[in-house]
Amino acid sequence: MSKGKKATANVKIEDFIIRNRKIFVCGVAVLVAAAVVVCVVFAISDSNKKKDLAAIDSIEYSYVSKSGGIEEDAISSRQAKAEEALAPYLSKKNVAGVRANMLYADIAFAKKDFTKALDCYLKAANASKKAYTYAECMYNAAVCAEELSKNDDAVAYYKAAADDKDFYLASHALFNAARVLELSGNYSNAAELYQKTVDSYSGYEWANLSESRLIDLRAKGKID
C-alpha cells in the first residue's frame, strides 16, 4: 500500500472511530466491567475455598483430636459426625473436594467400608489429576479394590500411582501391581512388572523383592 493510500485509510479509520466514539467507549466500559466481575468472582471463589478448607480442617481436628485410647462407641460417634459434616463438600471439584473425599475415604477405610472408601478415593483423584495427592489416592484406591477382590482394577490403580515417579510409594505400587497379577495367575505380565521394578528402582527394597519373585517364578517354571 502507498503512503497516500495508507494515509487515506488511516483517516477513514479515524473518522469511523470519531463517528462511533460512543460505541467504542461503551465497549471499553463493558470490558472494564467484565474485568471487575471476573476479579470479584475469583475473589469470592478464593474466599469460599478458604472457608471450605477451614471447615474441613475443623472437621478433621474434631475427628482425630485426643483420639488415643478412646472407646469404640466414641470412635463410631466421631466417625458419624465427621461423615455428616463432610457430606456438603464431597461434590466440590476443587481442593476442598479433594480434601473432603480423602478424609471421608479414610474414615470409610477405618470402618472397613472398602466400597465407599474406593469411591471417595477415586473422586479425590479425579478431581485434580495434576495434584500431588493423585498418586496417593490411586494407591489407596488400589488397596480398596484389592480388598474387594477387584484385581484388574487394583492393578490399574497401582500402575497409575506408580506412573508418578515423585510418589514416595512408586516402587511399592509397581511391585504391588506385579504381585496382584501373580496372585491372579498372570505370570508373564507379573514378571514384566517385577522386572520393571528391578530396572527402575535398583537398590530399593521393592526391587530386591521383585528380583526374588522372578527367581522363584523361574524356579517353579512359571516363566522362562
Rounded to whole angstroms, the Cα distance separating 192 from 219 reads 16
Alpha carbon distance 173, 138 (integer Å) = 10
* Domain extent listing, the chain: 3-65+77-168, 169-224
Question: What's the mean per-residue pLDDT of the chain?
Answer: 83
Q: Please give the average per-residue pLDDT across 156-167, as a whole number.
A: 95
10 vs 147 pLDDT, higher one: 147
pLDDT digits (tens, 9 = 90+) for 91-142: 988 899 999 999 999 999 999 999 999 999 999 999 888 888 999 999 999 9
Q: Which fold has domain 3-65+77-168?
A: 1.25.40
In total, the chain counts a number of residues equal to 224
CA angle 82, 86, 92 (to 5 degrees): 165
**Sign of the four-CA dihedral 181, 187, 189, 190:** positive
Tell me the pTM: 0.77
Q: What is the pLDDT of residue 45?
A: 53
Q: What is the mean pLDDT of residues 147-162?
A: 97
Given this model, what pLDDT does residue 135 score? Answer: 96
* pLDDT tens track for 54-100: 999 999 999 888 777 778 888 899 999 999 999 999 998 889 999 99
Average pLDDT over residues 195-211: 95
